[in-house]
Structure 1
């Protein structure tokens, strides 16, 4: 079997995201929000997905492509070499500081430069609406084309003759051309000079952001690319961070495990905030804190596993009449996981919000009342302590008493105890300690002495990669014999010869998982470092970096046999895993015996 990779580059500015193919085609772009309908979505349907490309005029002739980022930025370059010449397309979403705020418009800029010869190119621009069901009408003006039919106007302003764009006729590229596409507010300024100024300002912004990143020398290039990708998965308007920019890219071909990941999962909260903390980015943490805190003040009896980027609760799942990625159906929008019971979310929230109440850097007088929030969340842990749930992996038709859930009951109660001590609240401290002990008692019921390991749930014989968190969260002493045997059992059961990790190997609602889950592999690297197997951790980390695409971007899943990328892409969770694993290794290398 051939190796499948997602041959796309990611652009974004914390207001929108786009995926650009190596042939310059915009394969995915949703406007006006991360979770809106695509305006370009050929990723999921070549016919209904519209098109926006700047290809060689004669596509019957072969051409080569080279795609790369401007160093330390989210500015993407695609160079095309055809028989008649070569050219470069620079794609970016403007982002920079202006008037004491971040300027992050719904504006997508493409700069097209001839590099050699006399390349002839053809520009196609056909945005669509309502997930391909709505064809937009066009209105030609003096220097732009308006696309009409959505709530707001899409406008393409360009110095390419509009006739060539409207008729999709080829022309010789003998000077630099610019295309500025906007949603809503149009560009009402000089085209060339404004595009160049925005490009310089955006490059400067990203390079300054990278300079402010606190990372070690260990694999800096991979950490920087992951940090840049993770940054633009934050919807800055609310602070939400989505799991991925796409929907319905299958976890494995034909698996029907095709999900919409353009939402904010509570289960990811702790890991995402840890990653931002590990790279020293306070602003992103604070915005995300406020998103989570906002949700925590309006819940009705329980937290959901996920919410919309606006905090929306109902994310009703629908299937769309689209061809699907490489024919993989169904294509889904929405995600019924919002209806699931996942009781680990309460501990996740407490651990994630802990710095808001005990870190002296947070001085926001408008933050939620800590005692009320912590008391209420502890109450939810108490109420669900003896209830089964769907677990971390969101089993749709199976409820168990999951070890991972009890770990976060324990960790959340541990965090609440710290808050209580900082506030001098003895009643809260006592309740937190009682719940810590209750959670620990349940975790110990998952221990299987024959395996020398903790199983995925009370009474279950199955192992689960998420139980590596027992070591990483500090429940198990990394230097203990129990930590060593537990990790060894997980290696034996879930690790592939290539060093990748399955989430689990037992059947679920959709059969037995076919592909490995990349975040679990990075957890393994962290666990190796934690227990002192640092050289092995470095070796395994190096292996994992070979599963990126040509730009260093990671998917959700990897086929161990072929090295193929599958699942939604890019996957924020995978990039979080890389950042945290690199940080854990760097910490170990910084100790005297590794210098």
Structure 2
């Protein structure tokens, strides 16, 4: 397969996302399941045609062979329930896809169960159902066993079972048949469906729709681009692996940042660098439960860290807190022929010293937010001291920085900013605990971090560079304004922002992370989170009209369902990078909140 040159066509990810905080799936507009990993977010795919058309298996509800068709895909309003309507010359039908999630017995019911409801809408459409899951990233074919009302797929640790009221012969042989009544397909991993098929599927659908709509009603989302914020909130929610509280960066692995770039990474892990922004997003919409789960995931990792410099925080962890995420390359076609296909991520071995400040900022609410009634369970003084000592020990050590350069180590401005912010958070904790010694240590380290941030200032240009001794600019230094290090009304904040605009912004209003070469050359695509940071910075410095204008542009880079990728090619508006990118949706939510506050919009509708 040949990669698409970015200059020739606009590329979008024409897929919808479903999930229930236990698993995620991507469904194309032709109803085929492009991506679904079981039993965890970071497990092998059981359907992975996204990365290999031959080895990726197949699960589709397509029109009869050779029939032309049109597709319309949409979400049930304010839910993660996805509908795909297919129109052919013979008729029209709808496939409703969802992962059950609702409250039951004082817990959330979120099984490894993927339900598809097939409804004829007009005429008598002829369809063909194919279900061929695979194991071990396409290297293991599963054995099929036919029973009276289901097909079992054997060969993995647990059974995959397809329970359906479609004649099994049609499914086993991939035969065409007329869809003249509603049919159901319930695919499970492990525990199968033992209840009545039709009534249970309908009950689960109603309960799941009700759950998502109640969840949205409980959010504090204002009326500034409300629909886009709702979709982003729904997407972010299901990127949380509820069993442990971890929130992954994206659903997928190895979707290239630009075609042919080889920047193909596995993003199905939890990055410490994202912590502050994710928690801010959930706080902005008033969702405490997700924050609390994520806090405890971070706190669990923190309890395993000592003040020994060899025992440091990693840039990222697995969804169970796993530290070793050894990178491997798989023998797969790759997305549109883009290789390599990687699982694991060697960034876990990198030195990324901003994580200590990230942890302190993230854990701050545990001690100052009155909704947390039992902060003692997280050993507050121990955790804060350990993070402060790690800041102290790494203050004069270079690192890979926010963007995880693989062979470049510098004294990054962004790292010192989070040293500064983390120490500020530690001072607040110390005050809350009445610990003068902790407050003194945090104050000393905050001043040291500030001196190093100022060493990044190019006074002649009125801009902070990406690292001490460097002339390069980096969009991460927008956070100097957003986190309150720079007074947004100051001349320096305005000149810093103007310099970043001049060097990193495209005519379309998109932002590059940086423009200097890295380990893989010069970046070809813009990074959406940086564009949203820019919008926030505009709002902070009082350029609210500019912020609104640029925000309006950015929401145009979603796919047909309002979902965002990691990167955008400014020349074509193409989506690239892993998808959907939780980080991009966090950026949208936080930028909308910042603008709404400036406009004095109400928090609640």
> Could you tell me the TM-score, scaled by structure 1's length?
0.99
1:135 is aligned to: 141
Q: Deviations over 1:7-49 (max 9, x none)?
A: 0000000000000000000000000000000000000000000
**Aligned counterparts of 1:141 and 1:366: Cα–Cα separation in 2:** 54
Aligned to 1:212: 218
Q: Counterparts of 1:150-189 in structure 2 under 5 Å? A: 150-189=156-195
CA distance in 2 between counterparts of 1:194 and 1:235 reads 25
Structure 2 counterparts to residues 400-439 of structure 1, below 5 A: 400-439=410-449
How far 1:368 sits from its partner (Å)?
A: 1.2
Q: CA RMSD in A?
A: 0.8
Per the TM alignment, residue 299 of structure 1 is displaced from its structure 2 partner at its CA by 2.1
2:452 partner SS: helix
Give the Cα–Cα distance (whole angstroms) in 1 for the partners of residues 18 and 223 of structure 2.
Answer: 26
Structure 1 residue corresponding to 2:32, chosen from 25, 39, 57: 25
Could you tell me how far apart the structure 2 residues matched to 1:496 and 1:460 are? Answer: 22
Deviations 1:542-568 (A, max 9, x none): 000000000000000000000000000
2:49 alignment counterpart = 42
The aligned counterpart of 1:110 is: 116
TM-score (norm 2): 0.97
Query: Residues of 1 paired with 2:286 and 2:464: CA distance?
Result: 34
1:589 aligns with 2:599: yes
* In the alignment, structure 1 residue 308 sits paired with structure 2 residue 315: no
1:91 aligns with 2:97: yes
Residue among 277, 287, 291 paired with 2:293:
287
Structure 1, 583-592 or 421-430: larger mean CA deviation: 583-592
Change (3 A) 1:118 1:222: same
- Helix, strand or coil: the match of 2:216? helix
Deviation, structure 1 residue 61:
2.7
Q: Is the 8 A contact 2:366 2:375 kept in 1?
A: no
Cα displacement string for residues 489-509 of structure 1 (whole angstroms, at most 9, x for unaligned residues): 000000000000000000000
Name the counterpart of 1:298: 304
**Displacement after TM superposition at 1:366 (Å):** 5.8
For the pair 1:506 / 2:506, whether they are aligned, the reply is no
Note if 1:224 corresponds to 2:230. yes
Kept in 1: contact 2:88–2:125 (CA 8 A)? yes
Partner of 2:469: 459
The aligned counterpart of 2:3 is none
What is the aligned partner in structure 2 of residue 192 from structure 1? 198
Q: Deviations over 1:406-454 (max 9, x none)?
A: 0000000000000001111000001110011000000000000122100
Q: 1:588 and 1:359 mapped to 2: Cα distance?
A: 24
Q: Secondary structure at the match of 2:377?
A: coil
SS in 2 for 1:132: coil
Distance 1:113 1:476 in 2: 57
Structure 1 residues without counterparts, runs of 5 or longer? none
Distance (Å, rounded) in 1 between the aligned partners of 2:36 and 2:600: 42
Distance 2:150 2:222 in 1: 47
Structure 2 unaligned segments of length 5 or more: list them: 1-7
Residues 252-331 of structure 1 correspond to what in structure 2 (within 5 A)? 252-300=258-306, 301-331=311-341
Q: Secondary structure at the match of 2:25?
A: strand
State whether residues 222 and 601 of structure 2, in contact with CA within 8 Å, keep that contact through their aligned partners in structure 1: no
State how far apart, in whole Å, the 2-side matches of 1:181 and 1:200 are.
18
Aligned to 2:240: 234
Structure-2 separation of matches of 1:140 and 1:367:
51
SS of 1:327 mapped into structure 2: coil
Partner of 2:87: 81
Distance in structure 2 (CA, Å) of the matches to 1:135 and 1:184: 18
Contact 2:256–2:262 at 8 Å: present in 1 too?
Answer: yes
Which residue of 2 is the match for residue 378 of structure 1?
388
1:123 and 2:123 equivalent? no
Deviating runs (4+, > 2 A) in structure 1?
364-367
Pairing partner for 1:64 from 66, 70, 78: 70
How far has the Cα of 1:464 moved from its partner? Answer: 0.1
**Deviation for aligned residue 1:581:** 0.1
TM superposition shift of 1:62 = 1.5
Q: Secondary structure at the match of 1:558?
A: strand
For 2:398, the equivalent position in structure 1 comes to: 388
CA distance in 2, matches of 1:410, 1:420: 15
Task: Give yes or no for the alignment of 1:249 onto 2:259.
Answer: no
Q: What secondary structure does 1:428 align onto?
A: helix
Q: Which residue matches 1:202?
A: 208
- Work out the CA distance in 2 between the residues paired with 1:164 and 1:175: 15
Offset at residue 333 of structure 1 (A): 0.0
Q: Structure 2: how far apart are the matches of 1:337 and 1:372? A: 27
Aligned to 2:565: 555
1:52 to 56, 59, 63: 59
Residue 493 in 1 paired to residue 503 in 2? yes
* 8 Å contact kept, 2:232–2:588: yes
Report the equivalent of 2:4: none
Query: CA separation in 2, counterparts of 1:62 and 1:478?
Result: 56
Tell me, what secondary structure is at the counterpart of 1:195? helix
C-alpha distance in 2, partners of 1:228/1:365? 29
- The corresponding residue for 2:460 is 450
Match of 2:19 in 1: 12
Equivalent position SS for 2:580: coil
Say which SS state the counterpart of residue 192 (structure 1) adopts. helix
Matching residue of 2:493:
483
> Residues of 2 paired with 1:368 and 1:114: CA distance?
54
Distance in 2 of aligned mates of 1:438 and 1:107? 52
